[in-house]
Amino acid sequence: MKYSEKIERVAELVASKNRIAAFTGAGISTDSGIPDLAGISTILNAEPNFDGGVFGMLNPTFAINNPALFYDLYRKTFFHPDAKPNPCHTFLSELESQKKILGIATMNIDCLHQTSGSKNVYEYWGNVQLNHCTNCKRQYDWTIIKENKVPICETCGSVVIPDFVLRSLATYSTNVQQGTTLLHQADLILIAGTKQSRGSLPSQTSKVIINLEKPYSLDENTLFIQGNTSKVFSDVSKLYKQL
């Protein structure tokens, strides 16, 4: 099937369904200036003062013991508070406003779905606005990080670090459960910016996967479009509005 035919098919599917769910990964935010894991690895590998890799950087012990270096790396990789939503985020938000989409389950922490206007978002790893003091556990939003090179707790003077780091990359089980329920309620699942899914997806449900890399596996109810998610959603949106 040609690219144009796939775009037409996705637009038709979106138009015909009213219980759509989305499952999104890092690939949807690269056009907003936020690197994916491969991009983050490249950035970290170029750092002369650090050789721990992505998971070494996200180790809470490293963040607590080396806060200045951690935050220098964090601002080059995960933390981009000025990033703007791109056509992928915007299209999903528009579908929610039309009551076409039930919600979004995401592995991303960048808040771009909410910034674009989406409200029913289940964040498996939380987001960059969730931060806690490493000692007294006082909660902070990202203002303290935007305004301070190394954020220090106003209550006890200890370092403040992102919640997803403090939790040693543990997912939020309630959000994962809610996201899984969402995906099983859908009559169409849009999977964007990732080649893998968290949790099992119903095999009988129509699915569209949009990503630069091929997924690990495909079932007979899945349409795969290999390409830039921002461009694909932009093309689908234009055609969908004409239907």
Residues of each annotated binding site for Zn(2+): 133, 136, 153, 156
Buried b or exposed e, range 187-209, using 16+ CB within 10 angstroms: ebbbbbbbbebbeebeeebbbbb
Token code pair at residue 132: 């806690």
Block residue for tokens 């893998």 = 196
The beta-carbon contacts of 185-189 under 8 Å, at least 24 apart in sequence, are 185/19, 185/21, 185/102, 186/19, 186/20, 186/21, 186/102, 187/17, 187/18, 187/19, 187/20, 188/13, 188/14, 188/17, 188/19, 188/20, 188/21, 189/20, 189/21, 189/22, 189/23
CA separation for the pair 101, 93 (Å, rounded): 9
Give me the numbers of helices (H) and strands (E) for the chain, helices first please: 11, 9
Binding-site members are 133, 136, 153, 156
